[in-house]
A and B are shown apart, each in its own frame.
Chain A
Amino acid sequence: MEQLVEQILEPHFNFWIYVILMMIGLWAVIAKNNLIKKLIGLSIFQTAIILFYVSLGVKEDANIPIKKPTPIEYSERAYDSEADTRSAYAAAEKTPADENADSKAGDSQKKKAYEKINPDKIANPLPHVLMLTAIVVGVATLGVALAIAQMIFKEFGTLEEDEVLKVIKGGEQDD
């Protein structure tokens, strides 16, 4: 049982759910009759795509993408004297004054002044950035869709798709 979870379920479960949510959303957009329901389906479709992107950027045992690297010269001294991270933090706070002195010494020296971050231990920030803007733009476009839905309700007195289509087709036959 444990083997089943680890080998079959865990590596792809997020991607299965993204496909299932996408199917639910797509089915709602096509088959639901009410326009508000269609918009809820469209929003679910959107979150499915976001789930896909964010799932790709996950790394096992990784931190969130906020990281302030400790300067090397201080951190080495801290490790030598068996000090814990607290002294490393205290050293990190001293850096601005240190940079003032350094800035005249040249850029190349300053760029090497920080410890090397292991990229495998920080979550991939790129999908987060893309999806963050997509969410905000998504709610703005959802507002446009809801405005159009209100316009349709004012014109036809209903939000059901088949009734709206009946009115449109009936009008054509009268002409």
Chain B
Amino acid sequence: MIFTFDFIILIFMVVAAIIALNVKDLLSASMIFGIYGFLICLLWAEMGAVDVAFTEAAVGAGVSAVLFIATVFNTNRKSSD
């Protein structure tokens, strides 16, 4: 646990969350959500939760972003807000 890393990653996470929710293009939103997943995976590894970090890297950053993109591909890419 190193507080400087902790601080930086947490700030980036909040920024990534806000951007993911405010982008009008849903494909970009899905990709930024994948970035959010990688950041939180870094945070788990930094806090000593290696198993959780591993799962998050595979699931949160990889599979769930792909699932979002698959849905956006089959529906509408534009969002009103």
Contacts and interface: CB of A to CB of B under 8 A. Distances in A.
Q: Do chains A and B touch in the complex (CB under 8 A)?
A: yes
A9 to B, nearest CB: 8
A58 interface: yes
A130 to B, nearest CB: 10
Interface string A33-54: 1101101110110010011001
Interface residues of A, number: 55
Contacts of B71: 36, 146, 149-150
A123 B14 contact: no
Contact of A135 (B18, B55, B70): B55
B1 A128 contact: no
Contacts of B51: 128-129, 132
B13 interface: yes
Interface in B47-81: 47-52, 55-56, 59-60, 63-64, 67-68, 70-72, 74-76, 79-81
Contacts of B17: 21, 24-25, 44
Contact of A33 (B3, B64, B81): B81
B7 interface: yes
B67 A139 contact: yes
Nearest to B22: A37
B31 to A, nearest CB: 11
B67 A143 contact: yes
Contacts of B68: 36, 39-40, 146
Interface of B: 1, 3, 6-7, 10, 13-14, 17-18, 20-21, 26, 29-30, 33, 36, 40, 43-44, 47-52, 55-56, 59-60, 63-64, 67-68, 70-72, 74-76, 79-81
Task: Pick the 8 closest A-B CB pairs, nearest first.
Answer: A123-B48, A34-B79, A153-B75, A146-B71, A17-B10, A128-B49, A139-B59, A33-B81
